[in-house]
């Protein structure tokens, strides 16, 4: 593309810091690179690198002082779609904010690979229900994500399964929402309980899944790199910012 076109996605001008630079904080590996013709990104990567773990998840964020303490979580936090630790008078949680028309805030956590049954719990709070989108995906690195739950821009809770997208009803803003999933990997099925209402025996929305080992939280639809590029003058912050809180993430067998 010409220099006036802004490509969306990776693979543009990857450049790492040279070995021996002694001014970077901590023991992490730091990567600095440009992308999409103009954006400068900084990645902090804990070392040694791990692609899997032997642990499940139990995190309420109350003891976390900053994102650097979530070293086993993968955090994607652009300028206009940030992730941070926030709190009120009696609670602390992970905050996602999004005013980027082409990007999103994203966090995903790898946990112990499960080939049998799995229980997933978390709570969410949306500060609005007339704009912004939040998605939760449960899956692995080898398959399409077999479970997706969406809080849509229209204030609806939508569950994606083999039967297609199912509208489970409206959700209230500024109110903690409780989610619980009982997942049966060999049966490729799951039950979802949302605010004490249970939706039974939903079938995974992708092909035969042999294991599950990650959960993703994201302020928008998934995207790849093969989308139409945008001109720079349209890439401006949205007029409305969407904010979501995440808390009490627990994954166990």
- The residues spanned by each domain of the chain are 1-49, 52-252
E strands present in 36-98: 39-45, 57-59, 73-76, 83-87, 92-98
Give me the pLDDT at residue 165, please. 92
137 burial via Cβ count (<10 Å: 0-12, 13-18, 19+):
buried
State yes or no: pLDDT of 29 exceeds 90. Answer: no
Distance, CA of 173 to CA of 157 (rounded, Å): 12
DSSP 8-state code for residue 234: G
Give 244 or 16, the one with higher predicted confidence: 244
Least confident of 10-14, 115-119, 120-124: 10-14
Query: CB–CB of 64/85 below 8 Å?
Result: yes
Q: How far from the centroid of its chain's Cα atoms is residue 89's Cα?
A: 26
Domain 52-252, second-level architecture: Sandwich (2.60)
CB atoms within 10 A of CB 106: 21
Instruction: Tell me the average pLDDT across 60-85.
Output: 93
The residue ranking higher by pLDDT, 31 or 181, is 181
Please report the pLDDT score of residue 143 as a whole number: 67
- Model confidence at 156: pLDDT above 60: yes
Q: Residues 102-108: what's their mean pLDDT?
A: 93
Statement: the pTM of the whole predicted model exceeds 0.75: yes
Copy the structure tokens of residue 106.
Answer: 């994203």
Contact 83, 105 (CB under 8 A): yes
**Who contacts 23 (Cβ-Cβ below 8 Å, separation ≥6)?**
none
Query: What pLDDT, on the 0 to 100 scale, is given for residue 206?
Result: 78
The candidate with the shortest Cα–Cα distance to 181, out of 242, 90, 252, is: 252
3-state percent helix, strand, coil for the chain, nearest multiple of 5: 0, 45, 50
Structure confidence by residue, pLDDT tens digits, 204-221: 987 789 999 999 999 998
For the chain, give the percent of residues with pLDDT over 70.
84
- The answer to whether 61 and 85 are in contact (CB under 8 A) is yes
- Quickly count: other Cβ atoms within 10 Å of residue 148's Cβ: 22
Which residues of 100-203 form beta strands (DSSP E)?
Answer: 106-114, 117-126, 134-139, 147-151, 156-161, 164-170, 176-184, 189-194, 197-203
């Amino acid at each position: 593309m010409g220099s006036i076109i802004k490509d969306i996605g990776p693979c543009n001008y990857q450049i790492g810091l040279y070995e021996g630079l002694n001014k970077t904080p901590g023991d992490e590996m730091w990567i600095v690179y440009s992308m999409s013709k103009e954006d400068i990104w900084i990645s902090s990567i804990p070392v040694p690198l791990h692609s899997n773990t032997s642990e499940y998840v139990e995190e309420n964020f109350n003891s976390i002082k900053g994102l650097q303490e979530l070293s086993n979580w993968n955090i994607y936090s652009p300028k206009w779609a940030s992730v941070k630790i926030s709190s009120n008078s009696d609670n602390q949680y992970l905050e996602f904010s999004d005013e980027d028309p082409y990007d999103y805030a994203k966090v995903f956590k790898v946990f112990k690979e499960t080939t049998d049954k799995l229980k997933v719990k978390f709570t969410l709070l949306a500060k609005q229900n007339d704009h912004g989108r939040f998605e939760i995906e449960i899956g692995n690195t080898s398959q399409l994500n077999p479970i997706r739950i969406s809080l849509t821009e229209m204030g609806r809770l939508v569950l994606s399964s083999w039967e297609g997208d199912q509208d489970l009803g409206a959700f209230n803003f500024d109110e903690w929402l409780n989610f619980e999933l009982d997942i049966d990997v060999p049966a490729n099925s799951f039950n979802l309980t949302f605010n004490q209402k249970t939706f039974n025996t939903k079938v995974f929305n992708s092909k035969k899944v042999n294991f599950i080992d990650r959960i993703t939280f994201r302020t928008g639809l998934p995207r790849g790199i093969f989308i139409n590029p945008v001109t720079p003058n349209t890439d401006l912050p949205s007029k409305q910012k969407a904010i979501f809180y995440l808390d009490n993430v627990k994954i166990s067998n």
